[in-house]
């Protein structure tokens, strides 16, 4: 397997710095499990961050800072845990960690719900996270209605292929779209297309029928 489409530098640096939201971090970590090149980039970003931190001058803390920080922490809910660092998947495993841990198993154990004809989904519960993450399964040749975006969308292909204009994404490939993108991607002919999608805003469907059904789709 050769990954051809990778995560961007801004996402990778935000992930390495720990400032990326949980849904996007989950997608990045799952991509890293499948992409040796991006694992090397992530390691380099970690090293750079550590070197910059070590170069910072030491600063004296005020005497009451320790007690003030503890007092604030006691009054705040625990933050959602960041996705675990990626592990390379074992042979025969379709869904690598950390995504498999969020879903509770691999493909043979998952319970799908119908999203549309020939399309199924599993919504991933991420409390206190505004972007939404879902696992999607499209039967071969099935397309998404023509749409634009009100924000960023990240898509990671885990099985099969996803075709978008002249681009064909396969296992491990990532597509990133924004509010300037309008497209109508569809699953390739080589089996079901299974992908992880993360959106931070609802899609903007072009057709009236799709817009009417959007509240039911939840996308």
The model's pLDDT over 46-76, given as tens digits with 9 standing for 90+, comes to 775 554 444 446 656 555 655 665 565 565 5
Supply the pTM of this predicted model: 0.77
For residue 111 the two structure tokens come to 């319970």
CA-wise closest residue to 5 among 148, 196, 137, 156: 156
The backbone torsions φ and ψ at residue 189, rounded to the nearest 5 degrees and listed phi first, read -85, -5
- Per the prediction, the chain carries an average pLDDT of 81
Quick: pLDDT tens for 161-206: 999 989 999 999 999 988 777 878 999 999 999 999 998 876 666 6
Tell me the C-alpha distance between 177 and 130, whole Å: 17
Rg, the chain, Cα only: 20
Q: What is the pLDDT of residue 76?
A: 52
Tell me the C-alpha distance between 167 and 176, whole Å: 12
Q: Which residues pair with 47 in a beta bridge?
A: none
Compute CA distances 141 → 29, 120, 188, whole Å: 28, 14, 6
DSSP 120-188: EEEEE--TT-SSEEEEEEE-TT-BPPSEEESS-EEEEEEES-EEETTEEE-TT-EEEE-TT--B--EE-
Q: What is the pLDDT of residue 52?
A: 47
């Amino acid at each position: 397997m050769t990954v051809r489409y990778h995560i961007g530098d801004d996402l990778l640096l935000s992930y390495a710095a720990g400032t990326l939201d949980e849904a996007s971090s989950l997608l990045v970590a799952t991509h890293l499990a499948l992409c040796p090149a991006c694992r090397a980039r992530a390691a380099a970003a970690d090293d750079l961050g550590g070197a910059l931190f070590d170069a910072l001058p030491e600063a004296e803390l005020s005497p009451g800072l320790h007690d003030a920080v503890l007092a604030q922490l006691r009054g705040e809910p625990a933050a959602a845990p960041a996705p675990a660092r990626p592990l390379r998947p074992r042979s025969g495993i379709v869904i690598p960690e950390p995504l498999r841990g969020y879903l509770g198993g691999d493909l043979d154990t998952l319970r799908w719900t119908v999203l549309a004809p020939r399309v199924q989904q599993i919504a991933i519960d991420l409390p206190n996270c505004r972007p939404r993450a879902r696992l999607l399964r499209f039967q071969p040749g099935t397309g998404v209605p023509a749409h634009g975006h009100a924000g960023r969308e990240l898509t990671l292909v885990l099985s099969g292929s996803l075709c978008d204009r002249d681009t064909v994404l396969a296992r491990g490939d990532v597509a990133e779209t924004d509010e300037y993108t309008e497209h109508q991607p569809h699953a390739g002919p080589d089996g079901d297309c299974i992908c992880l999608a993360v959106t931070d805003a609802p899609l903007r469907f072009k057709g009236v029928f799709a817009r009417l059904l959007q509240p039911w789709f939840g996308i």
